[in-house]
A and B are shown apart, each in its own frame.
Chain A
Amino acid sequence: MQMTHRQEGEFLVITPSGRMDALVSQQLEEAVNKLLQDGSGSIVFDCSDISYASSATLRVFLAAAKRAKTRGSHCRFASLTKPLQELFEISGFNNVLEIHEGLESALA
């Protein structure tokens, strides 16, 4: 897994990429938790480069969204790839998470 992050105004943009299997999701969770501990602003997951996501990845997303909501900030998901869109529908995430078509609208 490759993951980059950058600050865009009040948002921390996290861009995971590649195949997000169970092992990779553990690394993602550790990285996201560390980033969330350090900052208190809102986050955007740029999902444009995710080729596959396991249920473990979805759990990391759900946990991050819950953490953001609890502290009164935002956790948005932008540019979902087709496989990820399907997974969000199957898991019902599209009903509860903030999903944006593109990064620009997510940062607005």
Chain B
Amino acid sequence: MKTGGKTSPLKPGERERSLAIALAFCLVDVLLMGTAAFHSNSLTILSDFLKELGDTTAVLAAFITVRAVRRAPSHRFTYGIGKLENLVSMSIVVLMTGAAIAIAVQAFYHFRHPVIPHGTVPGIFIFAVYAFIAFSISLRNHRLLKSQHSPIIASQAKLWFSKGSFDALMALSLTVALICRDQAWSLYLDPLASLVGVAFMLHSAWAIATESVGDLLDVALGETMQMRILRCLAERFDDYDLLHKIRTRRSGPRVYVELFLEFDPKQTMEEVRERIERIRFSVADAMPGADITVTPSNETPLPS
């Protein structure tokens, strides 16, 4: 549900904007695939429609939640309601899993009682267009990779290639089923392809669930973020005496960083405060929008 990703800290406004754009694309997608599914009895198209519907609901819920979370913490929820996003994500996981099970049951029913798919041409067309777009983006990313090394672009290239492959496979299976509709074996292509769609739905649900459960259990930030914090602490090496602990967590769109540092006891409060501010600003610069606390401490804190 987090379109911002684990390693790219977006400011609240940017995140809301990117979610709004993603939502617009998802709605167009659902509308097209929904129309195709309505005019067809194909399980493949229905499974893709349900998958897109799940993704769109996830983005919509994220958008609404981000707007709700943006509100200042109330006296009742003094840390805000960031976890609401994770709770909504978990509900979507349940819905997506339910839809996947329903499609799988239908697919097995169609294996036992084959039906001739009809009205699949709009679906084939949509899948083909999506495959073309996804492969074009993947190819563009691959070309970019030749001129500059970037793990983000590399992962995007892989992502779009896998999306393109999925859409191409769906288009191919529906086309073959349409062309060879007189052959008995072609009747099994539609339920078979829908099971591939089910696998993708379950994969999406799993990705959302693992991220949300991690956030609910206050899992520490990923390695990239941790490296940024360490870089700041290396840059401000002379501003503190001892490094006791770094504690990080995420609550919805917000990132929290707690640094437990020991300072020279001979320094005045004013000097320590200035050093704390320097460290805090350095980390805030590296992680825009993060909530950073520097706690003067003379021992490693116990897990809370």
Contacts and interface: CB of A to CB of B under 8 A. Distances in A.
B230 A59 contact: yes
Given A62-B233, A91-B231, A92-B234, A67 B226 contact: no
Given A54-B223, A91-B231, A59 B241 contact: no
Interface in B249-283: none
A58 interface: yes
B242 interface: yes
Contact of B242 (A22, A56, A63, A87): A63
Interface in A17-61: 22, 54-56, 58-59
B217 to A, nearest CB: 15
A95 B234 CA distance: 8
A72 to B, nearest CB: 12
B244 interface: yes
A54 B222 CA distance: 10
A4 interface: no
B235 interface: yes
Contact of B241 (A54, A56, A70, A90): A70
Contacts of B235: 92
Contacts of B99: none
Contacts of A22: 220
A67 B241 CA distance: 7
A62 B244 contact: no
Given A92-B234, A95-B234, A96-B237, A62 B243 contact: yes
A95 B237 CA distance: 10
Contacts of A54: 223
Nearest to B240: A66
A62 B230 contact: yes
Contacts of B216: none
Nearest to A65: B237
B246 interface: yes
A24 to B, nearest CB: 15
Contacts of A96: 234, 237
A55 B230 contact: yes
A63 B244 contact: yes
Nearest to A29: B300
A64 B226 CA distance: 18
B227 interface: yes
Contacts of B240: 66
A62 B234 contact: yes
A66 B223 contact: no
A17 to B, nearest CB: 21
Contacts of B223: 54-55
Contacts of A93: 230, 234
B234 A59 contact: no
A97 B230 CA distance: 13
A102 B154 CA distance: 35
A92 B234 CA distance: 6
B110 to A, nearest CB: 46
Given A66-B237, A93-B234, A59 B243 contact: yes
Given A58-B230, A91-B234, A92-B234, 12 more contacts: A54-B223, A62-B230, A62-B234, A66-B237, A66-B240, A66-B241, A66-B243, A70-B242, A92-B230, A92-B235, A96-B234, A96-B237
Interface of A: 22, 54-56, 58-59, 62-63, 66-67, 70, 87, 90-93, 95-97
25 contacts: A54-B223, A55-B223, A55-B226, A55-B230, A58-B227, A59-B230, A59-B243, A62-B233, A62-B243, A63-B244, A66-B241, A66-B242, A66-B243, A67-B242, A70-B241, A70-B242, A90-B227, A90-B231, A91-B231, A92-B231, A92-B234, A92-B235, A96-B234, A96-B237, A97-B234
